[in-house]
């Protein structure tokens, strides 16, 4: 038998189901791997070995093996509280915070039979698209430790890419699953708004933030998403679930079969084009061209999507982003512990009026309708995952909020509009740079179109024939 981290999450799940590996053995293996690698990678905000082993024993003893994620190791993003475990939200202002209650997502993965090994690193309150919090270490890219892992689920992506976890849940309010997944050569899935009851987005400003999986393969991502959507198995039994249109899953079947022929549009313009200079670097363009070539070879219909400028988008989205930051609950006496970017966003947000917020929400609602109608003729839309290669640690301006925001937009201009439209999206690697960095593409689906995305991504994954590539820290 290979070392457990060499198996895909699906293979590990099968070993657990057959009784060839126990939850305690799997937990112990990945805890040892974290102990060896995380001092270099910086993926974890906290590791909880005693609690993890106690939980693994409880799963073996008390949880039915039919639970969708029975015995599977993972970790909670530091934005999602777990009762009794320090949760700092990536901030020095909450360094001593120990919650009394768990987040809905934490409860969901527990109900599915998973075993949490700790908390994965996130930037302060998950606001930026990189994970270099002053409250902890930067999350480094396992493919090149001088580069960042992206954000805000950067710790989760770094842990999965380095084989410290088989997969991990993340959250995505503007690309925070897809950006780190693409940075670290992984599969990242942002579900439709309303798809996952424990993180539907319906309770967020403009419905932006949802939860989803980060994994090494398309099937692994589908396995975790199934457990998040229906933690007690299908059909979902959550009494307050609000479903997106389409089938409720399970998605693992679609990811394994990888069947169907689809009509795919290619989009290269972004709604940020009038805000700053958006340029695809050569690696991002090569990844897009590789994705197009794979689609052609597989027999899918591919056509270029005509541009449709949206000059009102940058202002409206910035208003919502700043308004969200303004609601962060930090006592005045702890404001000096906040990072400059957070203070800038909060200050801007607190100058907004009710009319400003109402106007932005109304504009974005119209943008959502226009975007869904524009993309409706296609089964999926292909875009670059990132406009640039993963950024070096320390690349972002830490003091100037305006400059920092523009840098983030130039790095990842293709993700936030998908959140505004409430659509599902999936990123996966299809190309490698000369230096060996994986680069990916993004597939955007119709509302409730996750099954199509998994089927199409599985075909691309097989056709790309990238094999079991491993980063240098492996």
Residues identified as active-site: 77, 152, 176
Say whether the peptide bond before residue 250 is cis (omega within 30 degrees of 0): yes
Give the C-alpha distances (Å, rounded to integers) separating 143 from 118, 186, 291, 355, 362. Answer: 23, 11, 21, 46, 42
Phi and psi for 455 in degrees, rounded to 5?
Answer: -65, -45
Measured distance CA(297)–CA(305) in Å, rounded = 20
Check if the beta carbon of residue 197 is closer than 8 Å to that of residue 229.
yes
* 95 sits in which H/E element: none
Check if the beta carbon of residue 302 is closer than 8 Å to that of residue 292.
yes
Q: List Cβ neighbours of 379 (8 Å cut-off, separation of 6 or more).
A: 262, 263, 264, 445, 446, 449, 452, 456
Q: How far is CA 258 from its chain centroid?
A: 22
Question: β-strand 44-47 against 144-148: which pairing, if any?
Answer: unpaired
Check if the beta carbon of residue 104 is closer than 8 Å to that of residue 123.
no
Residue 29: left (phi > 0), alpha (psi -120 to 50), or beta? Answer: alpha
Closest to 388 measured CA to CA, from 307, 318, 288, 239: 288
Give the C-alpha distances (Å, rounded to integers) separating 8 from 349, 357, 436, 450. Answer: 43, 45, 21, 21
Measured distance CA(341)–CA(98) in Å, rounded = 25
Measured distance CA(67)–CA(353) in Å, rounded = 47
Q: Output the CA torsion sign for 25, 27, 33, 36.
A: negative
Measured distance CA(419)–CA(98) in Å, rounded = 30
């Amino acid at each position: 038998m290979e070392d457990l981290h060499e198996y895909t999450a699906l293979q590990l799940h099968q070993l657990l189901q057959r009784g060839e590996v126990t939850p305690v053995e799997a937990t112990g293996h990945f805890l040892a791997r974290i102990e060896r690698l995380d001092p270099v990678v910086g993926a974890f905000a906290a590791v909880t070995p005693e609690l993890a082993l106690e939980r693994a024993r409880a799963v073996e003893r008390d949880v039915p093996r039919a639970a969708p994620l029975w015995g599977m190791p993972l970790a909670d993003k530091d934005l999602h509280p777990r009762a009794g475990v320090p949760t700092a939200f990536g901030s020095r202002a909450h360094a001593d915070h120990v919650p009394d209650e768990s987040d809905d997502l934490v409860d969901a993965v527990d109900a599915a039979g998973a075993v949490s090994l700790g908390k994965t690193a996130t930037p302060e309150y998950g606001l930026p698209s990189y994970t270099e919090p002053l409250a902890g270490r930067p999350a480094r890219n396992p493919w090149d430790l001088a580069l960042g892992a992206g954000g805000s689920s950067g710790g989760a992506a770094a842990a999965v890419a380095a084989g410290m976890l088989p997969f991990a849940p993340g959250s995505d309010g503007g690309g925070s699953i897809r950006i780190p997944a693409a940075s670290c050569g992984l599969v990242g899935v942002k579900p439709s708004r309303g798809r996952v009851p424990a993180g539907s987005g319906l309770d967020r400003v403009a419905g932006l933030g949802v939860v989803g999986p980060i994994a090494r393969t398309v099937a692994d991502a589908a396995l975790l998403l199934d457990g998040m959507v229906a933690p007690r198995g299908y059909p979902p039994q959550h009494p307050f679930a609000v479903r997106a249109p389409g089938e409720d899953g399970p998605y693992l079947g679609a990811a394994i079969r990888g069947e169907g022929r689809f009509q795919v549009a290619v989009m290269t313009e972004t709604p940020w084009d009038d805000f700053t200079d958006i340029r695809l670097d050569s690696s991002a363009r090569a990844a897009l061209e590789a994705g197009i070539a794979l689609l052609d070879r597989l027999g899918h219909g591919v056509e270029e999507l005509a541009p449709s400028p949206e000059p009102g988008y940058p202002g409206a989205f910035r208003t919502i982003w700043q308004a969200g930051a303004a609601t962060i609950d930090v006592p005045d006496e702890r404001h000096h512990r906040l990072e400059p970017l957070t203070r800038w966003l909060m200050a801007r947000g607190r100058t907004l009026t009710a009319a400003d917020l109402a106007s932005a929400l109304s504009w974005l609602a119209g943008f959502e309708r226009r975007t869904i109608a524009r993309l409706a003729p296609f089964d999926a839309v292909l875009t670059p995952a990132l406009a640039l290669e993963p950024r070096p640690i320390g690349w972002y301006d830490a003091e100037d909020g305006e400059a920092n925001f523009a840098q983030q937009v130039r790095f990842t201009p293709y993700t936030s509009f998908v959140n505004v439209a409430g659509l599902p999206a999936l990123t996966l690697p299809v190309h490698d740079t000369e230096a060996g960095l994986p680069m990916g593409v993004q597939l955007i689906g119709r509302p409730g179109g996750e099954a199509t995305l998994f089927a199409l991504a599985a075909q691309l994954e097989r056709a790309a024939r990238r094999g079991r590539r491993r980063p240098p820290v492996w």
